[in-house]
Structure 1
Amino acid sequence: MKIIDVLRIRIVFFLIQISILILLIHLFEYKHDLNLLLFPQPSDTTEEQIAIIEWLSNYTLYEDWSDLFFIYTIWLLISIIPILIYNNYKQAYSMNFLTFFFPNFFLYAFLRNYYRSYFNTNFLSLFMKTIILGVTIILFSIGLSLGIKKIMKTKIDTQIADLEAIARSITTICPNCGTEFASIPKFCYNCNLDLTIKTEDKNG
């Protein structure tokens, strides 16, 4: 597959995942309060920039256990999409990491550039939350991908075994000349033995 095709597919997956993420955040009206008002607002920071920071924080940060459960749930939910599409755990977790990386990157970039006092004070705690969630998404992606692959392999192996059993059940061997047929013929084409009599004797 060409690089341009790979990039195109990843962009499509990224847009789908981000769209679902935005939809779920707004559907459940989730909002994370950064408490920016507790820190002096830089003179060159506009209200629009603050709004972007607060908007981005809704997609990755949490405060209490209920918020943590919600954020982890929606991220693991959208992480399932590449897992089901790709038949490779490396592609699945790299796609999920890419989707997770972008909103976090812009959140930290905006905080550092437009609200440095808050960034310097809270960076460690925010970054730890980001790392833990990111690692969870990667482990979830790898584990579920390998689990699904194993289940599918077991299912395919079972189907193959069933087909082989069916094939064996309709295989006929001429008792006279040993010619093998992948069916139940009336006569052996090699020695003209009447196989219906032998089959009836076998079943009887």
Structure 2
Amino acid sequence: MKILKIIRTKAVIFLVQIALLSVLIIIFGYSFEIEFDGSISEERKQIIQFLGNYVMFDGFNDTLLIYCLWLVVVTIPIIIFRKVKRVYSMNLLTFFVPNFFFYVFLSRYSPLYFNQNFGQLIFDTIILALVLIAYSFIFSLVVNFIRKKTKKEEPFQIRDIDKKVVSICPQCGTKFDSKPLYCYKCNAKLIDETPSVSKKKAKNESL
């Protein structure tokens, strides 16, 4: 059941990441230029072009855009998962799938373009993959550090609040979360059990 749950979670996150990436690509109107072989059909062109828009880039502006889009997309698992390994494995999966099908379809249906440009294409892919892995690892550690720090501070804050608001009746021992002047049970005057009052009592007793 746990394995099935993880698979379902990864599947959902993968779809969300791809959907977000698709929306961003459409918004920015990005399209990677591919000089297809003459024998390829129009349908296959569209499929390869669709996949290429996810992972391919050329020139400074296109490179910057694709890097930024992917950095936004890979942030989703960082927010959801706490384990660093799950974060970068999820991001690698999302990055691997469109790349895999792009290279498979391009090599099969447009071999001339694939053979001529494979070196540059695979180099760009590897560099982007390394950047995404490094970003996932470092940013995930930062987020986890912030989470742990926040968790450590919360109990002390709650404990301090509890100490400040508790009052106790000297006659019947009834405790109150507020600070009423008199006990509603026996009408006795209440003792304020705040740290400041406790210190004053200790000083008076020592005197």
Query: How many residue pairs were aligned?
Result: 184
Q: 1:52 to 1:195 in 2, by over 3 A?
A: closer
Picking from 98, 101, 108, the partner of 1:113 is 108
- Residue number in structure 2 paired with 1:99: 94
2-structure distance, mates of 1:108, 1:200: 73
Q: Show CA shifts across 1:144-164 (max 9, x none).
A: 111011011112222223234
| TM-score in terms of structure 1 length | 0.79
Alpha-carbon deviation of 1:35?
Answer: 2.9
Deviation, 1:5, is 1.5
1:62-116 per-residue CA deviation (whole Å, 9 max, x = no partner) reads 1111111110111111111111111111111111111111100011001111111
**What residue is the counterpart of 2:26 in the other structure?**
26
Matched, 1:52 2:40: no
CA distance in 2, matches of 1:22, 1:102: 14
2:170 to 181, 186, 192: 186
Where does 1:1-204 land on structure 2 (aligned, <5 Å)? Answer: 2-36=2-36, 40-41=37-38, 43=39, 45-166=40-161, 184-186=168-170, 196=191, 202=200
Match for 1:65: what amino acid? Answer: F
- Cα RMSD, aligned residues only: 2.8
SS of alignment partner, residue 58 of structure 1: helix
- Maintained 8 Å contact 1:188/1:195: no
Structure-2 change in CA distance of 1:201 and 1:161 (3 Å): closer
TM-score with structure 2 setting the length: 0.78
**Percent of residue pairs bearing the same amino acid type:** 38
Cα 1:200/1:125, change in 2 over 3 Å: closer
Q: Report the residue type matching 1:186 in the other structure.
A: P
Alignment deviations for residues 9-68 of structure 1 (CA, whole Å, 9 cap, x no partner): 1111111111111111112111111233xxx53x4x322212222221111111111111
